Amino acid sequence: MTRGLPHSVRSVNYATSPLLASKTPPWRSRFVVALVGVAFLVLLGRAVHLQIVATDFYQAEGEKRFIHKQPLPASRGRILDRNGLVLATSVALPSVQVDAKTFSADTAQRKALAAGLGMTLAEINGKLDGVSSGAVVLRRHVEEAAWQQVKALELKGVQEVREYKRRYPEGEAAAHVVGFTNIDDKGQEGIELGFQDQLLGRAGQRAVLRDRLGRVVEDFGDPVRPVNGSDVVLSVDSKVQFFAYQRVRDAVKEHNAKAGSVVVLDVRSGEVLALANYPSFDPDNRRNLTGSQLRNRALTDIFEPGSTMKPFVAALALDSGRVTPATMIDTAPGRITITGSTITDSSPHGMLSVAGVIQKSSNVGTVKLALAMPAREMWEMYTAIGLGQKPRIDFPGAVTGRLRPYKSWRPIEHATMSYGYGLSASLFQLARAYTVFARDGELIPVTIQRTDTPTGGQRVMSAKTAQQVRQMLLMATSAGGTGTKAQAIGYSVGGKSGTARKQEGKGYGNKYRAWFVGLAPVADPRIVVAVMVDEPGKGSYYGGEVAAPVFSQVVQQTLRMMNVAPDIDVKAQISAKPVVAEIESF
């Protein structure tokens, strides 16, 4: 016995302990070993799954937390005029956003942020309050100076993203041609809408590695470069467009009118040189924009074309061999009654030649020409010049107009349609129709895109007939005609004025549309110009008084820009006494 040990310890005999003396069953030790082995296999399998089987999934999940894909926006294609001047282009501007998770700013700092962005504190709080994560866009497309002011605040979590915004250098003068895009760079009106697929590019993207605060650390992998949109080159000449816009704007204001439009066509190529409307809008600032400003009236508004249809009736009678320009027609006593309805002239003219009917714009003479021909022939002529059909032009919004089948015409409608009542057309359709006279009997296709190739047309009448009508149109702008104010300095012009009452309900009220459609120079036409002024309310409302002066100014300016040599002695024109225009019938 060892001295110093407790008694309880000394009294234990380990050799005879029942616990140690009992035999352990073999299965228990095997079970423990197996359990350890299974645990090892599970861990090994999990390691294999993570490192080999599911490596792509977990790597992707990791990348989601640290690698982010940033879009690389594509620049929208430019819109250019025929001379390469920019009508629409895209510029990269900052869009300001905040990372809600890391953003931190007190009330004073939020006020400074709001001031820099041109927002109110309430607007800032409304965007940020209640948002705990993710990117919150505060304002898109801010100017560079505003972003620098915000950046100088050094607020945590404030970021910029570069996005493209459209700019329109020609402003309201070309607004209805070019149109505009929305904030997401999608075309909404005009060429922007009509050529959306061509102008729109393909966005790219890049992968970046960010730290836990959302800051970009480095690029990850190769970026997918954006593909910019293609440019669109228009047939429009921005100088002609601007001048036409100015002249119609001035006419609308001078006559206290509701609206006005001008269309200028190149008759050799079928190109649209100008398409102007007033009222207009600034595509760069569309706040408080109204539907009236947006309407491209030259293409979308239809109206009864009035006396501008008379030359086509005369052409039909000439082309069919029924009359010659010298054939006399008795228009006395200045009125004619058909099935109880009386049609009158503005003043009695007595005996008039066919050429004189057009020069004096006689309703009675035109009606007698029309009634001497079947309604079907007149309908075929109107159809051949494009009335009642949608213009084939790459431009949204062009309307069809109205031309009823000839079988439904009553005698009075046969008569009124000869001087432009009972059918409807747009100013653009009228301008194209007059290319028949400018192109010696061919109706030409029109285009809004630049082309350097002269175009062929569809024959509607003989060249001789077209040339004879051109001389009648020249007479209409000369002494004794209804369109003397259409004369242009240095250039011979031919055209037809028109005035029509506007429909109000089932009848006609005391509101008018005035227009003038013509060509120049007469011997070898280069352009067709059509002018419309809607509801002139001050002074005269006749086309020869209201629209013809705009035609004159646009013609002489356009032909000079096209370097067309004058065909009239300017001195002789200046020394000649001014002539008083005849009042047209309507």
Q: How far apart are the first and last CA of the chain?
A: 147
pLDDT at 161: 83
CB 170 within 8 A of CB 246: no
Number of Cβ within 10 Å of residue 279's Cβ equals: 16
DSSP letter for each residue of 544-560? HHHTHHHHHHHHHHHHH
Sign of CA dihedral 365, 367, 373, 376: positive
CB 271 within 8 A of CB 82: yes
Rounded to two decimals, what is the model's pTM? 0.83
Helix (H) or strand (E) holding 375: helix 375-384
pLDDT at 1: 45
* Residue carrying structure tokens 């009330």: 107
Residues of the chain short of pLDDT 50, as ranges, are: 1-2, 8
Alpha carbons 322 and 348: distance in angstroms, whole number: 24
- Mapping DSSP to helix (H, G, I), strand (E, B) and coil, where does residue 460 land? coil
What is the percentage of the chain residues whose pLDDT exceeds 70? 87
**Rounded-to-10 torsion of CA 135, 137, 140, 145:** -80
- Phi and psi of 185, rounded to 5°? 70, 30
Whether residue 346 lies in the annotated active site: no
Which DSSP symbol is given to 11?
A: T
Point out the catalytic residue in the list 95, 269, 307, 424: 307
pLDDT at 338: 95
pLDDT at 3: 53
Domains of the chain: 69-233 (3.90.1310.10), 238-283+294-575 (3.40.710.10)
pLDDT at 64: 55
